[in-house]
Amino acid sequence: MSDSAKLTLGPLLFNWPADRVSEFYSRIAELAPVDTVCLGEVICPKREPLMGEALAEAASELAATGKEIVWSGYGLIADEKELAATRDLIDSCGGLVEVNDITALPLLQGRPHAIGPLVNVYNEDTLQWLVARGATRICLSPELPREAIARLAESAGDAELEVQVFGRMPLALSARCYHARAHGLHKDGCQYVCDRDPDGMAVDTLDGEEFLAVNGMQTLSHSSVELSAEIDELLGMGICRFRLSPHHIDMTAIALVWRGLLDGNRDLPRARRIIQAVAAFAPPSNGYYHGRPGAKLVE
């Protein structure tokens, strides 16, 4: 049991209808025992107007139930328009901003902020450089093995380290839109076809093997990371925040399992059974953590 361990719901990475977004966050506000909720469009700036109002309403509803709100910025800032939108977010949100592209760092000018998992923090020097610039919370990249996580935790100082423990892993971003191309469309005329795949579009190899998932311009793992069995080791390293990445499933059930784990209920076989039953959209994996191929599940 850890009194200081916190549970975070990461930003919604997928293109859901606004009414579905509103319904999702209303349920999270009412029922999910998470401490922090990250809001904001991370993947594609074109999607932002579609759910801006829904996210603003969600922020008010979540804050009213005592949950901390963190605003997540773009994962790829590609032009002046997107840089200006990032500046507007930083100036107007009034809370903690999560940086997912280091282009945003100069705009913060030493203001306390969080670092998201799309920023590569692979060594102690990088971590300490970010902390010196005002980073108070850093969510590590999901491909890091436990040895690297432990070393970073040793040098984190007062900064909080966070690890993604559930959900498809963010692997890469591109200026091209995979979804549009797959449907024979150009990025500028994409028709928002990414909304057809609420958990990402499956990508198979030429041999028909499950391989990856794509989400607009983003590449994700096909599997969903599942680190319930590793909780004691992570806590022992000093990891104090645990991130759940939202999916089109009962995320309240996932949050309840993880709240129980953090509160000392270590019925690990039961936790894994529930998580696998709820998250049937993808197989579980923990390979990266154990220094193995990421899609593997090490028992």
Helix spans in the chain (H)? 18-31, 48-64, 80-92, 105-108, 124-132, 146-154, 178-182, 231-237, 251-262, 268-278
Q: What is the CATH number of domain 6-169+224-285?
A: 3.20.20.70
The pLDDT score that the predictor gives to residue 208 is 87
CB atoms closer than 10 angstroms to residue 292: 14
The pLDDT score that the predictor gives to residue 109 is 86
Distance CA 269, CA 228 (A): 9
Distance CA 119, CA 206 (A): 31
The pLDDT score that the predictor gives to residue 94 is 82
pTM (two decimals): 0.96
The pLDDT score that the predictor gives to residue 3 is 56
pLDDT in tens, the chain (299 residues): 345 899 999 999 999 999 999 999 999 999 999 999 999 999 999 999 989 999 999 999 999 999 999 999 999 999 999 999 999 999 998 889 999 999 999 999 879 999 999 999 999 999 999 999 999 999 999 999 999 999 999 999 999 999 999 999 999 999 999 999 999 999 889 999 999 999 999 999 989 888 999 999 999 999 999 999 999 999 999 999 999 999 999 999 999 999 999 999 989 999 999 999 999 999 999 999 999 999 999 98
Each domain of the chain, given as residue ranges in start order, spans 6-169+224-285
Number of residues that make up the chain:
299
Distance CA 55, CA 60 (A): 9
**Do 119 and 102 meet the contact criterion of CB atoms below 8 Å apart?**
yes
The pLDDT score that the predictor gives to residue 10 is 98
The pLDDT score that the predictor gives to residue 230 is 97
Tokens of 67: 């949950």
Distance CA 61, CA 55 (A): 10
**Do 144 and 234 meet the contact criterion of CB atoms below 8 Å apart?**
no
